[in-house]
Structure 1
Amino acid sequence: MKRPLNGVRVIDFSWVGAGSYATKILADLGAEVIKIESTKKIDGIRLSPPFAGGESGVNRSGYFADRNTSKRSMLLNLKEPGAVEIALKLIEQADIVCNNFSAGVMDRLGLGYEAVANVNPRVIYLSMSMNGDSGPERNARGYGAMMSAITGFHHLSGNPGEIPTGTGTNYPDHIPNPGHAAFAMLAALRSSRLTGQGQQIDMAQTEAMLVTLGPEFLDWTVNGNDRGPLGNKDEGFVWQDVLPTSGDDNWISITAPTTAEWSSVLEVLQLDPELTPDADSTALAQAVASRSNHQLVAELQARNVPSAPVLSPAEVIVDKQLRYREHWRVLEHPEMGETLYNGQPFKFRHTEVQPTTSAPMLGQHTDEICETLLDLSPEEIAHLRDTNVLV
């Protein structure tokens, strides 16, 4: 089936989280994404659990697999001058080049924007370092948890008066940063199709994070108000919380936007209808703790009270809504066998936009790419491998 980005070629130097997910979006949309890797510097998430069958290995990481569906992998040791020449030959034939290295790394390798634009003026070149390629903090390095801290995102997490709790994961790596990067590349690709001109995109991941905090920054700069953490509350809602229910570590999330939903909560839990949202919540918590989370959700939703069970990983996989949306994809992997993958969180009416192939084995497509795109003979490929270029 034809996909939106069929015919688009991406040379992907990104690794670990945000960059890999940004290019995964393009790959699942149909772009030919060639992931540049090396045995001399293995992508960190290839070495990150969980591993298929509990057995570690560079081709067995579920984390890596989920970030790299629909891609091809090529070995290229960029420390070798000959590898840079090969990379530039690939870039000559590409529409997009992407990396999420620290500022200056690609320049030192001989693959900065000027070098790339010299061989391919129409290329879209995305860099997504932590603080961007310019400014006094350009050399700072960090991952999602650090970006959450320095942008103030962690300041808004947790309960009032307590230390920040964070989000339990590297939130910037999973949603805002890859999302902004993918959108930027798509917008630039559209512009390139209209004008024939390339673009350099210097995206600071911290700036992409700050976009998610617009109302909080406006409240501070305009009103001098530091909102601070709200716990499980939500501004403008009468009441909201996440509470334990019966069973082993089972929980429920309940929201009462108005007094009407609050009254329904009290009715379902058979509590005093005069109980106010700001009163001692012990009775409410005890009533919730005596109920099954799924049963209680059904009763609350029947009364139009927004609520949902907090699902375990096993429950998420069999969730009826995700099954109906065909979110989960099972793809065959050369080493891991049948493997479960996340689909994209959106669907198109007339085109497929979900993963087509499992994540690649390390260097799986090196020979194929060298033969089809670089016109190299098997003997030339073997020589480049022997001279530490294709490793």
Structure 2
Amino acid sequence: MSDTGHMVEASSWQPLAGVRVLDFTWMIAGPLGTRLLATFGAEVIKVESYHRVDRVRETGPHPNGPWSINEDGSFNDVNLGKKSILLNLNFPEGQDLARRLAAVSDIVAANFTGDRLDRWHLGFADLVKVRPDLIFLNMPVFASTGPRRRWGGIGTHINALAGINSVSGFSDDPPFGLGPLYPDFSSNPFHAVAAVLAALINRDRGAGAQFIEVSQYESTASILGPTLLQYTATGTLPPRLGNRSPRHCPHNVYPCQAAPASGPTAGTGTPTDRWCAVAVATDTEWAALCVVLGHPEWRDDPRFATAAARRRHEDVLDALIAAETTRWSAEELAARLQAAGVPAAPVNHAGDLLADPWYRAEYFHELAGPEGCRFAAHGEPIRPFGRRQPVRRAPLMGEHTEEVCQHLLGLSPDEVNHLVAAGVLG
């Protein structure tokens, strides 16, 4: 890895080379979208300020011992490949510099609530005056035209309001929140990037300025499609099913041999219970499962003859299967079932992923942090020509302020020093 370029590996696949993004986004969903644009070759300039530090620089995980805002694991993961400038937008001079940067940018991205950018005179109507073919991406929590346009929130709130929690969990329990901020890492940034790529194509066809709004609430609610369709068609809400399926059976996670509470994971809080997820979709897969578990006679049991019959006797069936699966480790059981044509996989935790040599080599990148720490960053699941994309580390806070001000805005070193002393670049 180069000490200057921080490139993990070389690649010539840079379809957005020459595209510049002025990035006002913060937290996770917005920065992940602009990170993907950087992965595709765009120059992404992240606007930061000590007056309003991106919370993801402080939320963790952090290295052991003393740490700084440049060493936060989450920030370094979601902001790979970007540049960072310090710009205090509460100063009129800072707002003017931002407009000058927008004038030399193809895309402006933001995810503020309400009219914050408009109050700084950096809204769409202001910036198209300096860049007539600007693509402006706005990712508010709620649509700017709706009744909740001034509401804020993070992924946990959005999951709840969008109905995700209502279908998660078990039937006798309250609604169950997802572990990760799922839409922040999936639908929201990818919907935003898809819209931006379409806008770039549209611009090349002669379109002028384009304003694109991706409401994170609406993006998240799109995940609930089948549930919305069911309620529209029948007026009934689906029950919370835990790990079960309304169509397939057996469909659950089953206990396997416990992992040893010794070795490198001892005392680290790593769980020793192990599980295997099994999803039988056809009677052929059901028959194969019976053979692998050593009970071919289950195929002829009228309680289990069809998927509908199996669902009616699901409690009994799950107990029978669970009594057999503990004979194997989760990995061995999954391998046996996959070889027999039955969809199955071990229930992994983060340590399992990082211990997988192929997965670690192909998807995770070990980077030297900007101040000496090392961390693993997830790569993009997009593999041009079957090869993983290169990764560049995230920036130090304000690392590229002088470079951007001098090379893009034409400021002299004395002008930059004056703006730093005045707090505009800070």
The C-alpha deviation readout for 1:207-246, integer Å capped at 9, x for no partner, is 1112222222122112213123221122331221112322
Matched, 1:9 2:20: yes
Check the 8 A contact 1:52/1:336 in 2, yes or no. Answer: no
Match of 2:276 in 1: 252
After TM superposition, list the pairs within 5 Å mapping 1:216-365 onto structure 2: 216-247=227-258, 248-271=272-295, 273=298, 274=301, 276=304, 277=310, 278-280=314-316, 281-323=318-360, 326-349=362-385, 354-365=389-400
User: Number of matched residues?
Assistant: 389
**Alpha-carbon distance in structure 2 between the residues aligned to 1:286 and 1:181:** 46
**Alpha-carbon distance in structure 2 between the residues aligned to 1:177 and 1:140:** 17
In structure 2, what residue type is equivalent to 1:258? T
**Alpha-carbon distance in structure 1 between the residues aligned to 2:173 and 2:373:** 46
Let me know the Cα RMSD of the aligned residues: 1.8
**Alpha-carbon distance in structure 2 between the residues aligned to 1:137 and 1:279:** 43
Match of 1:88 in 2: 99
DSSP 3-state at the match of 2:184: helix
**Alpha-carbon distance in structure 2 between the residues aligned to 1:58 and 1:319:** 30
In structure 2, what residue type is equivalent to 1:385? V
Which deviates more, 93-102 or 158-167?
158-167
**Alpha-carbon distance in structure 2 between the residues aligned to 1:300 and 1:196:** 53
**Alpha-carbon distance in structure 1 between the residues aligned to 2:31 and 2:370:** 20
The C-alpha deviation readout for 1:317-340, integer Å capped at 9, x for no partner, is 23255257x212233333144432
Runs of 4+ in 1 over 6 A off after TM superposition: none
TM-fit CA distance, 1:2 = 4.4
In structure 2, what residue type is equivalent to 1:262? W
After TM superposition, list the pairs within 5 Å mapping 1:195-210 onto structure 2: 195-210=206-221
In structure 2, what residue type is equivalent to 1:225? T
DSSP 3-state at the match of 1:118: coil
TM-fit CA distance, 1:167 = 1.3
User: Which runs of 5 or more residues in structure 1 are unaligned?
Assistant: none
Normalised by the size of structure 1, how large is the TM-score? Answer: 0.95
DSSP 3-state at the match of 1:3: coil
**Alpha-carbon distance in structure 2 between the residues aligned to 1:198 and 1:267:** 62
TM-fit CA distance, 1:76 = 0.5
**What is the percentage of aligned positions where both structures have the same residue?**
36
Matched, 1:116 2:123: no
TM-fit CA distance, 1:54 = 5.0
Which deviates more, 296-305 or 336-345?
336-345
**Alpha-carbon distance in structure 2 between the residues aligned to 1:40 and 1:77:** 7
After TM superposition, list the pairs within 5 Å mapping 1:96-245 onto structure 2: 96-245=107-256
DSSP 3-state at the match of 1:98: strand
Match of 1:376 in 2: 411
In structure 2, what residue type is equivalent to 1:253? A
In structure 1, what residue type is equivalent to 2:352? E
